[in-house]
Structure 1
């Protein structure tokens, strides 16, 4: 197994895809962290309250929810890319049983997901530091909590991509489906469900659950900082407005989003493993 894992890392670093997809993560994370802290309404609110607000936590969530798609695409091409260039045949023949090959990919891409997550946290924090200063992060424990949840989200999106790529195998179709679903289909579906009896279902959709891992932690922390300890109740509309811009769902705990999205990841990984055992590779 150790040899298969080394082989996977060798495949990853032999081609340029890993850093080509990491570049937009750097740009988006830094841009969201820097420009997100320049929101005029928040600046006015800070002046009104007379104290700094942890806007860096919100921009951390924003950067993560935009950047995870690149981790998912990277994971998708772990298997689908090998089907495209026919190297999957050699991988399966030299790494028999096939499940061991997929297991090695999952381990290697977990490590790459951690790398993507760390880069996201680092550059989002640098951007927020530039835009809001050190006071824009709140308590260090809050920063570690939000950053850690972002790291988990990035790893899970990477592994979901590996499982999805093993299911679909056609790299073009897999990429298009991921992009259309994350940025179009689920948004449209959520709009239709809003105000209906099934509105609560949106929190359990894959994209909303993935975004909620970070946002459902960052938004309540931010609202608590704004309201202060003497405010027992914050209007629901405040939460909903912040969730609209920074992701997540009102009243849905972050750990529930984590478990939901982990469930989707497990379904895709197991499904990809089952199909890969039977698929013709000649």
Structure 2
């Protein structure tokens, strides 16, 4: 029975234009950011490798030829692009409740637990689909504008691809939970975008200026950014040779992992936020009267 519900739910999402309407800007944003950050990284490396900077790098004992700066562009591009699968997830139940199309789902399913379980599976799959599209677009953009020496090796690319898809899945489910709690498509979209792009960035600036950057790793956006950012910073540092300790936190901040923990711990923190909102939305939807 659950298999039939999953098929029906997936068919329901593909019969509307929402999935491709959001997938197009997702790919364009991911590609655009990758092209831009790759271009900036290339210019930085050209400056560092210039004859004017050669003596300085020699005195510092560093070898810029080992700097895989494209990793920072990949992390940043993935982070910004996952806003769209989050919005896609946020419109999942909120749109159905708002338009009352969820009534049919609940009436034809054996119970609401089965119906919501099918939604869980389907939107995890959609999160993975969006994640693969994001990783592909970012990889193309970075490869087109970066020098081959600044690109990660196969293992590094797979690591970034893995956390990129994971971040997309978690962001999708985070959006589903918030949408189920708010039930308003417009309200859900506005709240998610404002919080992720403005409010939390303001909070991060405040706690950082107060000398408490470690608190950033406990916030939703800070923790999900820590997934890709921590991996990017770790991969960069593993091949960069000697890097002064004072620059390590600067590099983590550039990667988007300021105050974040290791990637797996950042993932667990954001998973806790995702579970909190998803289970809250699940509970509200379970008790809500559908007419």
Q: Which of 186, 189, 204 is the equivalent residue of 2:200?
A: 186
Contact 1:46 1:53 in 2 (8 A): no
Partner of 2:178: 164
SS in 1 for 2:261: coil
| Alignment partner of 1:10 is 2:40 | no
Contact 1:56 1:125 in 2 (8 A): no
Query: Offset at 1:93?
Result: 1.2
SS in 2 for 1:248: coil
Contact 1:209 1:260 in 2 (8 A): yes
Runs ≥4 residues deviating over 6 A: none
Q: Which of 75, 82, 100 is the equivalent residue of 1:86?
A: 100
Partner of 1:281: 290
Partner of 2:245: 235
CA gap of 1:74–1:251, structure 2 versus 1, over 3 A, is closer
Query: Offset at 1:136?
Result: 3.1
Partner of 1:263: 272
Partner of 2:36: 35
Partner of 1:24: 25
Q: Which of 69, 74, 79 is the equivalent residue of 1:65?
A: 79
Contact 1:56 1:128 in 2 (8 A): yes
CA distance in 1, matches of 2:197, 2:237: 26
- 1:37-76 deviation line (CA, Å, top 9, x unaligned): 1213233224554626323322211111101110010011
Q: Which of 33, 48, 73 is the equivalent residue of 1:45?
A: 48
Q: Size of the alignment, in residue pairs?
A: 277
| TM-score w.r.t. length of structure 1 | 0.92
Give unmatched runs, 5+ long, in structure 2: 55-62
Contact 1:114 1:154 in 2 (8 A): yes
| Alignment partner of 1:54 is 2:68 | yes
Partner of 1:104: 118
Partner of 1:74: 88
CA gap of 1:197–1:30, structure 2 versus 1, over 3 A, is closer
CA distance in 2, matches of 1:46, 1:223: 18
Partner of 1:252: 261
Q: Which of 126, 133, 144 is the equivalent residue of 2:158?
A: 144
Query: Offset at 1:96?
Result: 3.5
SS in 1 for 2:82: helix
Partner of 2:58: none
| Alignment partner of 1:208 is 2:222 | yes
CA distance in 2, matches of 1:69, 1:176: 12
Give unmatched runs, 5+ long, in structure 1: none
Contact 1:53 1:138 in 2 (8 A): no
The more displaced of 211-220 and 251-260 is 251-260
CA distance in 1, matches of 2:35, 2:213: 33
CA distance in 2, matches of 1:128, 1:10: 34
Query: Offset at 1:161?
Result: 1.1
Partner of 1:121: 135
